[in-house]
């Protein structure tokens, strides 16, 4: 495996800012505006970003810079997306329960 193909588990704020081509203070500001964005802090108090955090940041940047949403508008889009994901999880669980019921019913026939 080549070195550039290795992905890290955690990224520093400067690495993430470089990926997104924004200043670090922008990431800290977005953290105050979007409740979904909560990077962990290490023992030294420095922010550590996982891939899910980075994906969310790319989505925030796209909404704000690309799609020209306001902070409030981007927040609403992310809230709707989050709720849709939660509904999807619940629907999947219901479908799995239904599948189990139908498999048990089939065995009885």
Question: What confidence score (pLDDT) does residue 42 get?
Answer: 92
Query: Exposed e or buried b for every residue in 57-87, given b needs 16+ CB within 10 A?
Result: bebbbebbeeeebeeeebbeebeeeeeeeee
Distance CA 99, CA 109 (A): 15
How many angstroms separate the CA atoms of 17 and 93, rounded?
Answer: 37
Encoded tokens for 90: 């619940």
pTM of this structure = 0.71
Tens digit of each residue's pLDDT (9 = 90 or more) over 58-77: 999 999 999 999 999 999 99
Tell the residue number behind the tokens 């105050």, with chain if given. Answer: 32
Q: Which domain holds residue 83?
A: 3-108
| Per-chain mean pLDDT for the chain | 86
Taking residue 39's Cβ as centre, other Cβ atoms within 10 Å add up to 21
- In which band, very low, low, confident or very high, does the pLDDT at 1 lie, cut at 50, 70 and 90? very low
Retrieve residue 10's tokens: 């955690």
pLDDT for the residue numbered 33: 96
Across 19-42, average pLDDT: 95
Closest-CA residue to 48 (of 35, 39, 37): 39
Q: Which pLDDT belongs to residue 72?
A: 95
Q: What is residue 87's predicted lDDT score, i.e. its pLDDT?
A: 53
More confident residue, 96 or 75: 75
pLDDT at 2 over 50: no
CATH of the domain at 10: 1.10.1660.10
- For the chain, the domain total comes to 1
Per-residue pLDDT at 28 exceeds 70: yes
């Amino acid at each position: 495996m080549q070195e550039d193909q290795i992905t890290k588990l955690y990224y520093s704020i400067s690495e993430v800012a470089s990926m997104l081509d924004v200043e670090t203070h922008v990431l800290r500001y977005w953290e105050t505006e979007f409740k979904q964005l909560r990077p962990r802090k290490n023992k030294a108090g420095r922010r550590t970003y996982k891939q899910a955090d980075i994906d969310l940041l790319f989505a925030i940047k796209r909404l704000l810079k690309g799609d020209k949403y306001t902070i409030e508008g981007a927040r609403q889009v992310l809230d709707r997306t989050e709720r849709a994901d939660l509904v999807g999880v619940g629907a999947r669980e219901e479908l799995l329960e239904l599948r189990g019921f139908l498999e048990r019913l089939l065995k009885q026939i």
